[in-house]
Amino acid sequence: MEHHLCPGFRFSGITAGIKKNNTKDLGLIFSETVADTAGVFTKNRVQAACVTLNKQRLTAGKSRAVVVNSGNANCCTGPEGMQDAVRSAEIIAGRLNIPGEQILVASTGVIGQRLPVSKIETAAPLLVEALSATGLYDFSQAILTTDLAPKIHSLQVDMDGVPVTITGVAKGSGMIKPDMATMLCFICTDAAGAPEVLQRLLVSGVERSFNRITVDGDTSTNDMVLLMAGGLSGVRLQDQSQIEVFQKALDEVLTTLAKKVVKDGEGATKLVEIAVTGAETDQAARIIAETVAHSNLVKTAFFGEDANWGRIIAAVGRAGLPIDPDKISIFFDEVRLVEKGRWCGAAAEAAATRVLKKPEFMIHIGLAQGHGRAWIWTCDFSIDYVKINANYRS
């Protein structure tokens, strides 16, 4: 694992016994300074205790640490669940010798079971002791559930001669359909910035990354993205040109992590970009792209490497928007398989089938109606998806 260390941040990840399979399940991010902090949270009406607690604590836009457990979502656990979340934060705060309110919490796993706080209490000394500037890989493993691989992306950007680091880590394996699992993402940077500046940066970046792999509002109970800005680089994000440079770098980290989440989707074997152009509006393009990206029929055809454009055009047709079937073009990467709503023939289909054998490709749907465009990243839908989700809790 090669990635840039983020000055001012330390990480750890250990096995606390919360998961059944004796793998890492408790992680900690610690900032040496009080970090300016922004957060984006699930829009699901059912929200886990960690989401509710963090929203309260982020009204001041500051934090020192995030404690994350996998194996238990601490959701639908009532007032006791909130007490468990607060208590977990207090346990770690005591060990770190900082106020409990400076700790944020995140949980991912099964809904409806009490968080085993005693296990967190037992594990706390080791968790804090293990903190290290190079502990990010351990942390990235501790937050996984059905993910096959940890997801880290880190970069440095030059800001007026000063190197600024942005380091991101994410988990989330269930983006084949957006309600499948919790998505968590933590971004650390040694820049600093007013909470409202950071919040705008984060909302904007998430819109172009994680919100491109999920439907607005169609989120799990625990989803969150946190941005912690510790400030050790001395760079404070204030003037517009600086903010733009940082936004671009942040977008790259978020987009890379978002695509890693799709690639590691439960049972996924292919990463597919669904691009829609020529719609009446960007919003219309987005709705059509999402309808195609969520069609089980389209996604099983990707898995079967079947250039079944009829399923794509049928999904376009049921998106609820006025479209003209006789104007639709469909490309598989550069191969045009449908022109003006009609099949381009066996040679084009053979070429499109070759595209489908690639691990990454684009389906481009041209509507020839206007200038609206949008894209969504999705994956194929495999037998393993069903196997994973039929047996998740057992």
Q: What is the DSSP string of 209-256?
A: TGGGSS-TT---SS-EEEEEE--TT--EE-SHHHHHHHHHHHHHHHHH
CB of 109 to a copy of itself, least distance (A): 10
CB-wise, 305 or 333, nearer to a copy of itself? 305
| Chain centroid to CA 33 | 26
Longest dimension (CA), the chain: 70
3-state SS class at 300: helix
Q: Which is nearer to a copy of itself, 133 or 383 (CB)?
A: 383
Q: Which is nearer to a copy of itself, 45 or 161 (CB)?
A: 45
Q: In what order do the strands lie in the sheet with 360-366?
A: 342-343, 335-339, 329-332, 360-366, 271-279, 372-379
Residue 352 Cβ vs a copy of itself, minimum distance, rounded to whole Å: 12
The dihedrals phi and psi of 314, each to the nearest 5 degrees, come to: -70, -35
The contact set with a copy of itself (CB under 8 A) reads 43-47, 73, 75-78, 110-113, 174, 176-177, 179-180, 217-221, 295-297, 300-301, 303-304, 306, 308-311, 313-323, 325-326, 338, 341-343, 381-383, 385-387, 389-394
Nearest to 279 by CA among 315, 323, 310: 323
Q: Determine contact, residues 232/32, Cβ cutoff 8 Å.
A: yes
Nearer to a copy of itself, 22 or 45 (CB): 45
Q: Which of 37, 182, 189, 255 is catalytic?
A: 182
Which phi and psi angles does 29 have, rounded to 5°?
A: -115, 130
Q: How far is the CB of 239 from a copy of itself (least distance, A)?
A: 39
130 vs 292, which CB is nearer to a copy of itself? 292
Query: Does an H or E element contain 137, and which?
Result: helix 136-142
Work out how close the CB of 204 gets to a copy of itself at its nearest, in angstroms, rounded to a whole number.
Answer: 23
CB of 42 to a copy of itself, least distance (A): 9
Q: Is 52 a catalytic residue?
A: no
- Which positions are catalytic? 182
